[in-house]
């Protein structure tokens, strides 16, 4: 029978107000764990050994398992094509048979996020982290949800930091965390993170745009313009999800040049006044 072994300290009981299961009596901790993991099966067996919860699930029939993997493959193709409704349906069907398949559950959450169903997306991401507390991608997407959908920057930072602890060289984590730092006007910290993301994945346009925005907002006009020049000189990403970034970058470039021209004019006028 499938078995999960998860340290009590790593079990996420609630996204906003987590409970430390290590502080509870064993019978109370087991009761909470059974409730948390009830989405896996109607009956789950739970035991605690040396601070680790051992969760045992009933077996799925082999024929149903094969069909579920086929559904996951269909869902993945649908999601890549932007057909999120169809992908959601396939993922949900697969998870009825394979409820502990964390990749499928996380990808389902991402599709729900794209469709604006944030509550359902959050619930599935929490379940992914309950199944695998080391899933950096789930931390990242949950951070994105709190940042973009709920504007809860404190919670977003907590999950971005968790993702970064797990994968310190993940350019997507670095870019998202840097974007949050920039939003909170912590420009120096944001610049460091953006620059690391660029070094790790030079063809990824988002961190160059984010870096230019931070430089512009902090008054480093020439550096912002140079960063955008580098973005436009690089090979254009073929990923359709990156297309809006180039449009925003062009608008930012025009604004940076306008501010540079204004600053130049003010410098000229200042020198004229000095000679009078």
pLDDT at 13: 87
How far is residue 238's CA from residue 197's CA, in Å, rounded to a whole number? 19
pLDDT at 270: 60
Number of compact structural domains in the chain: 3
How far is residue 56's CA from residue 65's CA, in Å, rounded to a whole number? 17
The reply to whether 70 and 113 lie within a common domain is yes
The reply to whether 66 and 164 lie within a common domain is yes
The reply to whether 21 and 77 lie within a common domain is no
Looking at 168, 200, 218, which one is the last position of a domain? Answer: 168
The reply to whether 192 and 245 lie within a common domain is yes
The reply to whether 183 and 115 lie within a common domain is no
pLDDT at 274: 62
Mean pLDDT across the chain: 91
Domain containing residue 104: 62-168
Taking only the tens place, the pLDDT of each residue in 256-275 is 999 989 877 666 566 656 66
Evaluate whether 113 touches 145 at the Cβ level (below 8 Å): yes
Evaluate whether 65 touches 2 at the Cβ level (below 8 Å): no
Strand ranges (E), the chain: 3-7, 45-49, 52-56
Looking at 137, 168, 199, which one is the last position of a domain? Answer: 168
Looking at 14, 41, 56, which one is the last position of a domain? Answer: 56
Evaluate whether 245 touches 175 at the Cβ level (below 8 Å): no
How far is residue 49's CA from residue 34's CA, in Å, rounded to a whole number? 15
The reply to whether 49 and 66 lie within a common domain is no
pLDDT band at 58 (very low <50, low <70, confident <90, very high): confident
pLDDT at 62: 61
The reply to whether 69 and 52 lie within a common domain is no
The reply to whether 122 and 30 lie within a common domain is no
- The end-to-end CA distance of the chain, in Å, is 89
pLDDT at 219: 92
pLDDT higher than 70, residue 52: yes
Taking only the tens place, the pLDDT of each residue in 101-121 is 999 999 999 999 999 999 999
The reply to whether 235 and 264 lie within a common domain is yes
Name, in order, each residue with C-beta under 8 angstroms of 197's C-beta and a sequence gap of 6 or more.
Answer: 171, 172, 174, 175, 178, 204, 206, 207
The reply to whether 128 and 47 lie within a common domain is no
pLDDT band at 152 (very low <50, low <70, confident <90, very high): very high
The reply to whether 91 and 151 lie within a common domain is yes
Q: Locate 77 and state its tokens.
A: 């193709």
Query: Residue 184 belongs to a domain with what CATH number?
Result: 1.25.40.10
What residue has token string 């960063």? Answer: 227
The reply to whether 162 and 238 lie within a common domain is no
Q: How many residues does the chain have?
A: 276
């Amino acid at each position: 029978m499938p078995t999960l072994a998860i340290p009590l300290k790593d079990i996420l009981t609630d996204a906003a107000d987590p409970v430390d299961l290590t502080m509870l009596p064993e019978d109370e901790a087991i009761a909470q764990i059974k409730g948390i993991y009830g989405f896996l099966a109607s009956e789950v067996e739970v035991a605690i050994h040396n601070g680790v919860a051992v969760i045992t699930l009933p077996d799925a029939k082999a024929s149903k398992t094969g069909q579920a993997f086929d559904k996951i493959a269909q869902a993945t193709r649908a999601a890549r094509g932007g057909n999120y409704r169809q992908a959601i349906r396939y993922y949900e069907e697969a998870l009825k048979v394979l409820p502990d398949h964390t990749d499928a559950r996380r990808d389902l959450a991402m599709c729900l996020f794209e469709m604006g169903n944030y509550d359902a997306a959050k619930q599935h991401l929490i379940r992914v982290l309950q199944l695998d507390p080391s899933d950096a991608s789930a931390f990242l997407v949950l951070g994105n949800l709190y940042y973009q959908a709920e504007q809860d920057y404190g919670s977003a930072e907590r999950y971005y930091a968790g993702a970064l602890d797990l994968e310190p060289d993940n350019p997507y984590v670095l870019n998202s965390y840097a974007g949050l730092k920039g939003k909170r006007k912590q420009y120096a910290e944001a610049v460091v993170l953006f620059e690391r993301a660029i070094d790790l994945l030079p063809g990824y346009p988002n961190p160059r745009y984010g870096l230019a925005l931070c430089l512009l907002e902090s008054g480093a006009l020439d550096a912002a313009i140079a960063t955008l020049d580098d973005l436009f000189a690089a090979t254009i990403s073929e990923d359709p999800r990156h297309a809006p970034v180039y449009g925003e970058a062009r608008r930012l470039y025009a604004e940076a040049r306008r501010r540079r021209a204004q600053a130049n004019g003010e410098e000229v006028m200042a020198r004229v006044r000095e000679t009078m």
